[in-house]
Structure formats: C-alpha cells, structure tokens
Amino acid sequence: MSFVDSLVVSVIGLAVVFITLVALSVLIRVLTGIISRFTGRRESTDGAQAGAEKKRPRARKASRKASRKAVKEPQPQGTGDEKPMSAADTAAGEPKLSGDTAAVEKEIVSVPVSGTVSDVSVSVGSVVKPGDVLLILQAMNTESDIICETNGTITEILTSKGESVEAGEPLIVVEREVV
C-alpha cells in the first residue's frame, strides 16, 4: 500500500465519521423537538443560548436557611386615653390596657428541600436569635443546619427526630414581639 492509498483511506474514514456525527446531530434535534412538544417546554439546542440560560440568576436558590412566613396576630392595643384603673377594678376581672401593648408576629419555619429531620435543636419556650440552629435536616445524604433568622420564642414544634418532611412544610413556629 502506497502513501497515496493510505491517505485516501484516511480521508474516506474521516468522511464517514463526519457524516455519522451530522446524522446524530440531526437525530438529537428532531428528538428534542418531539420531547418539547409533549412536555410543553422549549429546549435549547443552541450552545450559545444554553450557556446564556445557565448564566441567568435563579429566582430562589435552595440554601441552608429556613424559609419563613410571617403571620401577624394583632393584640389589643390601648389608645393611651384610658383612665387609670384601681386595684379594685383589676381584681374585678377587667383587663388593664396600656399604650405599650405590642403586636405579636408568628413566623413559620419551613425547609427549602424535602428530607429527614436528623435532630431538633430547640424546644417549646426556647428563646432564639438569628443564627441559632433550629434543626438539622438530612437531604440527599447531606446534613444541613436550618438556621433561625429572627429573635423570638419557639411556640410550636410541628416535627420530630426521624420524621420525613416535604419542602415548604411548616416545621417550627417562632413568635416575636413587634414594637
């Protein structure tokens, strides 16, 4: 076999590989189009578009911090115009109102991902501050601390050690006074 013959065989081999790659690329585009029609999602086959989509910031990133929902429970507040009550009035069972009464806000702590509660680090009545570990969640073979984001008092614990929990499920209620 001469040099020219081996060169021709190499070029033909490269052409076969190139044609095979083009055929696979077309097949992938067709299958992507079919899948996107059934799922209702638009799939990007353009590498530049896919790269741009990856660089876009996500709306909400799963983190170790607990998500929380604030629920305000207004408490009776005085106007400051009430007459001072005597000890006899108070003893008669009438409540004493003052202008300093504040509203109480309940924050419901939930987790960003589903998992299993490995440990509950607080108890009902515990006073917590930002950064305190409320519980430890095991998700995807990784333990994550669920951190408190506010000052307050634990009023309810809705989970226990070893319990499976879903993302967004209420786990702990923290009550804080709003001045």
Residues 80-115: pLDDT tens digits?
A: 544 444 444 444 444 444 555 567 889 888 888 899
- Domains of the chain in start order, with CATH, are 3-55 (no CATH), 67-178 (2.40.50.100)
d(CA 94, CA 133): 41
For residues 8 and 91, which has the higher predicted lDDT (pLDDT)? 8
Give the closest residue to 126 by CA, choosing from 97, 93, 165, 155.
155
- Parallel/antiparallel/unpaired status of strands 133-139 and 67-73: unpaired
DSSP string, 64-123: SBPEEEEEEEPPP---S-PPPPPHHHHHTTPPP--TT--EEEEEEEE-SS-EEEEEE---
Residue labelled with tokens 């070029």 = 11
Q: Are 124 and 158 in contact (CB under 8 A)?
A: no
Query: pLDDT band for position 69 (50/70/90)?
Result: low
What pLDDT shows up at residue 16? 96
10-60: per-residue pLDDT in tens? 999 999 999 999 999 999 999 988 888 877 665 454 544 444 444 444 433
The mean pLDDT value of the chain amounts to 75
pLDDT digits (tens, 9 = 90+) for 119-178: 999 999 999 999 999 999 998 889 989 998 889 999 999 999 999 999 889 999 999 877
